[in-house]
Amino acid sequence: MNSTKQLGTESRHEKPTDESPESLAAQASDRFQWHWEETAIAGEIRKLAVASDPEGMLIDACERQDAGEEGVIDPFWATTWRAASGLDHFLCDLSLKGLSLKGLRVLELGCGTGHAGLAAACYGSQVVLTDGVRDPLLLVRMSTWELRDRCQVQQLRFGIDRIEGPGFPLILGSDITYLRTLWPELNHCLRDHLAEDGQVLLSDPYRIIANEFRDWIQENGWSYNEHKVALDDDPAHPIRVMQLRAK
């Protein structure tokens, strides 16, 4: 299952993956160390395929960047951020308050480990889980295998790629507002993919830069509501969920 190899340079022209679990596992092991981790998702303990050494992967990427190697991408996707758990809990609250997630078309941006999108699928949604790089998608395909009839996994780079077809009534993103330079591309991606009268849910652990994003996104034509989600692992540090609608 595991490999001694570290994250390589991202290729935008890789052949489509073989969708068998065994082949996906072999491809992931050829790229980086990974393991199955029991994680609370949609109120139940489920297995999530995750990178085994995210810190080591980041150090390796930084060293290669410092050495002048081109095309090396920081593997921030390798960590399961608490913001995804917060978004999972918020989706549960929405379901309890009467928003039917069953059959709802949902898009997850910057899915990383796929926690939030998988939660939506567990609640009955039809979910497209996306990330800007391909490596995490190998793990996401494994994690969503049992719900593959509800989950589609593909690459989506902000401002570059577009999913054809009707817009999505619900778009999710956990911890994707940390890089200011990506905000215009994120805004463009949201407007490209959101259905009329749809909503966007973005979560973060109350980062200072996300406070700036809160103001910036409202100045760029979005209505904004903010929600606080306390998590049992650390109630003193809640997760913020930004609820956006296009004006």
Average pLDDT over residues 233-239: 95
* pTM listed for this prediction: 0.88
- Domain limits at 163? 79-246
Asked if residue 133 has pLDDT above 80, the reply is: yes
Asked, for residue 59, whether it belongs to a domain, the answer is no
State the pLDDT at residue 72: 55
The lowest-confidence range among 1-15, 44-58, 196-210 is 1-15
State the pLDDT at residue 6: 34
What is the CATH classification number for the domain harbouring 101?
Answer: 3.40.50.150
Asked, for residue 34, whether it belongs to a domain, the answer is no
State the pLDDT at residue 210: 95
Asked, for residue 71, whether it belongs to a domain, the answer is no
Structurally, how many domains does the chain consist of?
1
pLDDT per position as a tens digit, 55-113: 776 677 677 777 877 765 666 676 778 999 999 999 998 876 667 899 999 999 999 99
Give CA separation, 216 vs 80, 157, 183, 210, 233, in Å: 26, 21, 9, 9, 31
Q: Rounded CA gap, 172 and 36, in Å?
A: 24
Amino acid type, 166: P
Asked, for residue 38, whether it belongs to a domain, the answer is no
Amino acid type, 182: L
The fraction of the chain above a pLDDT of 70, given in percent, is: 87
Q: Rounded CA gap, 243 and 202, in Å?
A: 7
pLDDT per position as a tens digit, 146-203: 999 999 999 999 989 999 999 999 999 999 999 899 999 999 999 999 999 999 999 9
Asked, for residue 22, whether it belongs to a domain, the answer is no
Asked, for residue 30, whether it belongs to a domain, the answer is no
Asked, for residue 232, whether it belongs to a domain, the answer is yes
Q: Rounded CA gap, 45 and 52, in Å?
A: 19
Who's near 173: CB < 8 A, 6+ residues apart?
108, 109, 110, 116, 186, 200, 201, 202, 203
- Closest to 205 in 3D by CA, of 44, 84, 122: 84
State the pLDDT at residue 68: 78
Asked, for residue 54, whether it belongs to a domain, the answer is no
Q: Rounded CA gap, 107 and 170, in Å?
A: 6
